[in-house]
Amino acid sequence: MNYAFKKWLSLFIALALVISLVPFTAFVKAEERAPIVITDPLGTEQQPTQVNKPTINISGSAYGVTDLGYTITQYRIDNGRLIEIKHKDGADKPDISGSNFTFNDVQLYEGLNGIKVYGIYQGQTVSDTKYVEYTNLPFITSVLYNDSQDLRQDNRITDDLTYNNNQVMLTGKVYNADSIVAVVNGVEYDGLLMKLQDEFAFTDLPLQLGKNSITIQAENQTKTYPLTLDVYYEPQGVPYILGQIDGQDLLPSMNFSTKPLTVSGDVYNFNDANDQLKVTYNGGSFIITRNDFDSQTTISGSIATNDGQTTNYTLTNEGADSFTLEFDTIKHPDINDLSFTFTLADGTTYQPQTYKLKYLNTSSNYVVSTSGLSDTATIRTLTFYITTSNTVTDLDQFINHVYVDGNGTRQTNAVPVANIDATKAPTYKVTVDLQPGDNFFEVYPAAPESENMEIYTVQYVSTPDVKITNLVNGDRIGGTDGLNIDTMIGEFINIPTTEMDNMTITVENAYGSTVYTNQSALLTIDKTNGTFSFSLTDLGVGANEITIEVTDGAVRTKTKLTLFYFKGDGPFVDITPSVSSRYTLTETDTNIFETDSRYIDLTMNFNNAKELVFYYNGQRAVYIDVQNDKVYPEATGNDIYLKLDLTNNKVVTDRSIRLNDGANTFEIEAISQDGSSKSAKIYVTRSPQPVKLIQPVLPDQKVVNSNFIEVIIEAEAEQVIIDKTEAVAEPISDSEAKQFKADVFLKNGKNKITYTVVRNGNSSKYQFEIYYAATPKEGARYKEVFTGKGKMDVFDKKVLLEFPKNTWLIEKGSSSIVDYKADEYLDFSIVNRKTGQRIIWDGDEYTFEDFNGIWDRYMKYYILPPDNTGYAGQLYWIEANGDLTNVDAGLVPNNQGEITIQFDQSIRDDAQNLLAIYHFDPEKREWVNLGGVVNTKAKTVTAPINEFGYYTVMAKRGSFNDIVKHPWAANYLQTMYSKGLMIPAERNRFGADLLTTRGELATLLVKALDIPIDAGPYDERGRPINPTFKDVSPLLDPDPEFYSYEYIETAARAGIIRGESDGLFNPDGYLTREQAATMIARAANLKITSNAERSKLNLAKMFADGESINLYAAPYIEAVIKAKVMSGSQLGDSIVFNPRSFMSRAEAATISYRLMQKLKKLPK
For 1102-1151, the pLDDT digits (tens) are: 999 989 999 999 999 999 999 999 999 888 889 999 999 999 999 999 99
Q: At what angle do helices 998-1008 and 1073-1083 cross, to 10 degrees?
A: 30
Q: Phi/psi of residue 1152, each to 5°?
A: -65, -40
The 3-state secondary structure of 1020-1033 reads CCCCECCCCCCCCC
What would the pLDDT profile of 538-556 be if each residue is shown by its tens digit? 998 778 999 999 988 877 8
Length of the chain, please? 1164
Indicate the DSSP class of residue 1133: T
Tell me yes or no: is domain 367-460 CATH 2.60.40: yes
Return the pLDDT at 480. Answer: 58
Mean pLDDT of 1020-1035: 87
- The CATH class given to the 572-686 domain equals mainly beta
What would the pLDDT profile of 762-804 be if each residue is shown by its tens digit? 788 888 999 998 888 888 999 998 876 668 899 989 999 999 9
Indicate the DSSP class of residue 1044: -
The number of beta carbons lying within 10 Å of the beta carbon of residue 958 is 12
Fold of the domain spanning 139-233: Immunoglobulin-like (2.60.40)
CA–CA distance, 674 with 306 (Å, rounded to integer): 84
**Cα 1078–Cα 1083–Cα 1089 angle in degrees, nearest 5:** 55
- CATH no. of 781-958: 2.60.220.30
Of the chain, the percentage scoring pLDDT greater than 90 comes to 47
Which superfamily, per CATH, for 36-134?
Immunoglobulins (2.60.40.10)
What would the pLDDT profile of 54-75 be if each residue is shown by its tens digit? 889 999 999 988 889 999 998 8
Beta bridge partners of 586: 594
Return the pLDDT at 31. Answer: 44
Q: Taking the mean position of all CA atoms in its chain, how far away is CA 208? A: 28
What would the pLDDT profile of 460-476 be if each residue is shown by its tens digit? 877 788 888 888 888 87
CA–CA distance, 826 with 452 (Å, rounded to integer): 66
Beta bridge partners of 921: 926
What would the pLDDT profile of 308-346 be if each residue is shown by its tens digit? 889 999 999 998 899 999 999 998 888 999 999 999 998
Return the pLDDT at 827. Answer: 93
CA–CA distance, 108 with 72 (Å, rounded to integer): 7
Return the pLDDT at 673. Answer: 75
- CATH no. of 240-359: 2.60.40.10
What would the pLDDT profile of 415-453 be if each residue is shown by its tens digit? 999 999 999 989 999 999 998 889 999 999 998 888 899
Spatial contact of 463 and 494, defined as CB atoms under 8 Å apart: yes
Residue 229 has pLDDT above 60, yes or no: yes
Q: Phi/psi of residue 634, each to 5°?
A: -125, 145
Residue 1028 has pLDDT above 60, yes or no: yes
Residue 1161 has pLDDT above 60, yes or no: yes
Return the pLDDT at 5. Answer: 45
**In terms of pLDDT, which residue wins out, 482 or 29?**
482
Average pLDDT, the chain: 87
Cα distances (angstroms) measured from residue 413 to each of 261, 396, 759:
33, 11, 65
Give all strands (DSSP E) within 261-335, no chain letters. 261-268, 276-281, 284-289, 298-304, 310-319, 322-327
- What confidence category does residue 516 fall into, taking pLDDT thresholds of 50, 70 and 90? very high
CA–CA distance, 116 with 37 (Å, rounded to integer): 10
CA–CA distance, 543 with 681 (Å, rounded to integer): 12
Return the pLDDT at 579. Answer: 92
Least confident of 368-372, 397-401, 1112-1116: 368-372
Residue 887 has pLDDT above 90, yes or no: no
What would the pLDDT profile of 585-628 be if each residue is shown by its tens digit? 999 888 899 888 888 999 999 988 899 999 998 888 999 999 99
What would the pLDDT profile of 898-931 be if each residue is shown by its tens digit? 999 999 988 888 888 889 999 999 888 889 999 9
Residue 822 has pLDDT above 80, yes or no: no
Residue 997 has pLDDT above 90, yes or no: yes
Q: Taking the mean position of all CA atoms in its chain, how far away is CA 280? A: 43
Q: At what angle do helices 1045-1053 and 998-1008 cross, to 10 degrees?
A: 70
CA–CA distance, 802 with 953 (Å, rounded to integer): 17
Return the pLDDT at 756. Answer: 92
Task: State the virtual CA torsion across 581, 584, 585, 586 in degrees, nearest 10.
Answer: 140
Looking at the chain, the domain(s) classified CATH 2.60.40.10 span 36-134, 139-233, 240-359, 572-686
Mean pLDDT of 185-200: 85
Return the pLDDT at 542. Answer: 75
Looking at the chain, the domain(s) classified CATH 2.60.220.30 span 781-958
CA–CA distance, 278 with 340 (Å, rounded to integer): 6
CA–CA distance, 752 with 772 (Å, rounded to integer): 11
User: Is 676 in a helix, a strand, or coil?
Assistant: coil
Q: What is the residue type of 842?
A: D
The alpha carbons of the chain give a radius of gyration, in whole angstroms, of: 43
Return the pLDDT at 978. Answer: 86
Return the pLDDT at 57. Answer: 93
**In terms of pLDDT, which residue wins out, 450 or 500?**
500
CA–CA distance, 70 with 90 (Å, rounded to integer): 5
